[in-house]
A and B are shown apart, each in its own frame.
Chain A
Amino acid sequence: MTTSQRIELVCPAGSLPALKTAVDHGADCIYVGFKDATNARNFTGLNFDPKAMREGVAYAHARSRKVLLALNTYPQASNWADWTAAIDRAADFGIDAVILADPGLMAYARKTHPQLRLHLSVQGSATSYEAINFYHERFGIQRAVLPRVLSLPQVEHVIANTPVEIEVFGFGGLCVMVEGRCALSAYATGESPNCNGACSPGKHVRWEQTPRGMETRLNGILIDRFGDDERAGYPTLCKGRFDVGGETYYAIEEPTSLNTLELLPELARAGVRAIKIEGRQRSPAYVAQVTKVWRAALDRVMADATRFTVQPAWIAELDKVSEGRSHTLGAYYRPWK
């Protein structure tokens, strides 16, 4: 095989400038969120108000690109109406697909807006074709985003056994835990990705220069301590250094980014339909850099997967924006597990 079917490049935008940047640098789809807890990047100063959303959708559609809306947190009885209202607004704004995790919301969207395309969010934690096909049969989901859990052969096996398009993460911050199955942040701070759309939220973070070094805390819990020669990273709680059995190390994960550029030919052969770039909380500069590199890489692989090689210049560009400035293949590569 020399050419493969179209693989969409799905890029993040936390603001209107980031959305325009993603479009200008070659994203096929841009995923966004409203300015509230209905999405998993509910951070201060981020996301779209109605005016920005209308302008963003118009900008993308004028250039034949799609806008996807993440509504991927789990509503409670008390705020259910906020989430259904968000779905109604999405339909009204002409959003091309909504990315949902909650089955109740999917049922609502299916019933109220049957024309609205549904994607299963990574927060839905569907790691097998049996799980994905459940959402397909019940709600007609057309795409599922796989949690960063499966190895490449496992991804291929899922694709072979479902009519649902499969989207995978290609680049960006790495959740070590199964998405939608992590309450670590809730345990430490009371706020979780599932219910509040935030992990290790900034308002609980404290940076303190001490005689022992720079200390980073989350709700008072020491997540890491850095020497003068070290670059102090954000205290995402699964990426701190802890003591286990008298040994201090990154007990859960290093501060590293997922980067699957070198796997692109295999992901294409497996039949992956879209590659997702993480980072709605990142700057337009990040979006520009990453979109540019991945556009080039995807064009190469779709033109001729057999002759695809990772360009050193691409890696150099991506290194500039990576968390922790190191890369991993994550679970796609079995020894990572």
Chain B
Amino acid sequence: MKPVKLALGPLLYYWSRQATLDFYAAIAESAADIVYVGETVCSRRHELRLDDWLEVADVLAAAGKEVVLSTQSLIESESDLKTLRRIVAQTRYRVEANEMSAVHLLAGAGRDDWIAGPALNVFNPPTLELLAGSGARRWVVAPEMSGAALAELQRGLAEPIETEVLAWGRLPLAHSARCFTARHFNLQKDTCEFRCLGMSDGIVLRTREGESFLTLNGVQTQSARVHNLLADLPAVTEVADVLRVSPQGEHTTDVLALFRAALDGTTSPQAAFEQSAAWMVDQPCNGFWHGRPGLEQYVAA
């Protein structure tokens, strides 16, 4: 397999300050080459504020990681924009743009080193080229895009651009103005009592038949199943330059090490996939990669 970098995506859950700092201390020693940091889900979460995230970034950078500051996925207020402007104004770290306000500000600032995040709905060459022309130097593929569609998109590009694919973690499926965690506790978002704090992997939503289906993570809805492309690595690495692992409550560094071993060829993709079962919070799925419903675990016949 060609050389592929390993990235840790932004932490999507809300953990205590100490748990978060401990987590990133471990990540500094992990197999990740790139680490995305910052609060991307909810502006009310403030165990770490931007200055704290910048300190985390410094520690990771000192450990040799490429650090990227990720912006909030849903911008609603002027105060959200204020934080966004501060992220864009700092030049020490690259920025992952997670909606179009960030794209506008980054392009306006003349930055030419940013990353187009997974929620920008990039599905075709002209749109990706437009972002590249505005300074994007890497893009994170929308999770719902199939490997075949990705390959076809890449063939249509005049110039290649570094491509990052989500390869592990509960899928980020939707964002809302409503907080479903607060709703679960019969609270409104503005007075949510920060009930999501300390939920290591969100709350599972099940069908009335008891099947796990989705995960409630504040204003974000995730899959219940764990998107796991370990068994698909040979095909994935043909089109991906960077693989993203999404943080989870336990074993994130183990998962990163496993990906490293699979990428280096010291563990076969199939063996890595089997080994990963112990570290998944739910059943695996890979349907999106195969152009199928995302919750399916598809094994080619």
Residues of A within 8 A of B (CB): 74-78, 80, 101-105, 107-108, 124-128, 130-131, 133-135, 137-138, 148-151, 154, 157, 176-178, 180-184, 186-190, 192, 194-195, 219, 221-225, 241-245, 247-248, 251-253, 331, 334-337
A102 partner, pick from B73, B107, B127, B206, beta carbons under 8 A: B127
> CA–CA, A244 to B167, complex, Å?
27
B155 part of interface (Cβ distance < 8 Å): yes
Instruction: Provide the residues of chain B in CB contact with A242, threshold 8 Å.
Output: 205-208, 213-214
> CA–CA, A222 to B287, complex, Å?
19
Beta-carbon contact of A183 and B126 below 8 Å: no
Contact A186:B77 (CB < 8 A) given known A77-B156, A104-B124: no
Q: Top 5 A-B pairs ranked by shortest CB distance?
A: A104-B126, A134-B104, A104-B127, A130-B101, A131-B100
Beta-carbon contact of B80 and A128 below 8 Å: yes
Beta-carbon contact of B124 and A190 below 8 Å: no
Q: B176-205 toward A: CB 8 Å interface, digit per residue (1/0)?
A: 111110011000111000000000000111
B149's nearest neighbour on chain A, judged by CB, is: A76
> CA–CA, A137 to B178, complex, Å?
30
Residues of B within 8 A of A (CB): 73-78, 80-81, 84, 99-101, 103-105, 107, 119, 121, 123-131, 142-144, 149, 152-153, 155-156, 171, 173-180, 183-184, 188-190, 203-211, 213-214, 216, 221, 223, 287-288, 291-295
Beta-carbon contact of A184 and B126 below 8 Å: no
Beta-carbon contact of B76 and A335 below 8 Å: no
Instruction: Provide the residues of chain B in CB contact with A176, threshold 8 Å.
Output: 176, 178
Q: With both chains docked as a complex, state the minimum distance between the C-beta of A52 and any C-beta of chain B, in angstroms.
A: 28
Beta-carbon contact of B76 and A194 below 8 Å: no
Contact A178:B126 (CB < 8 A) given known A187-B295, A190-B291, A242-B213: no
B291's nearest neighbour on chain A, judged by CB, is: A190
Beta-carbon contact of B124 and A188 below 8 Å: no
Beta-carbon contact of A78 and B184 below 8 Å: no
Instruction: Provide the residues of chain A in CB contact with B130, threshold 8 Å.
Output: 103-104, 107, 138
Beta-carbon contact of B205 and A125 below 8 Å: no
Instruction: Provide the residues of chain B in CB contact with A188, threshold 8 Å.
Output: 293-295
Beta-carbon contact of B175 and A181 below 8 Å: yes
B74 partner, pick from A124, A127, A157, A241, beta carbons under 8 A: A127
Beta-carbon contact of A184 and B173 below 8 Å: yes
Q: With both chains docked as a complex, state the minimum distance between the C-beta of A73 and any C-beta of chain B, in angstroms.
A: 9
Given contacts A103-B126, A151-B76, A335-B188, 6 further A-B contacts (CB under 8 A): A103-B127, A127-B74, A187-B223, A221-B207, A244-B203, A334-B190
Beta-carbon contact of B173 and A102 below 8 Å: no
Instruction: Provide the residues of chain A in CB contact with B121, threshold 8 Å.
Output: 74, 101-102, 125, 180, 194
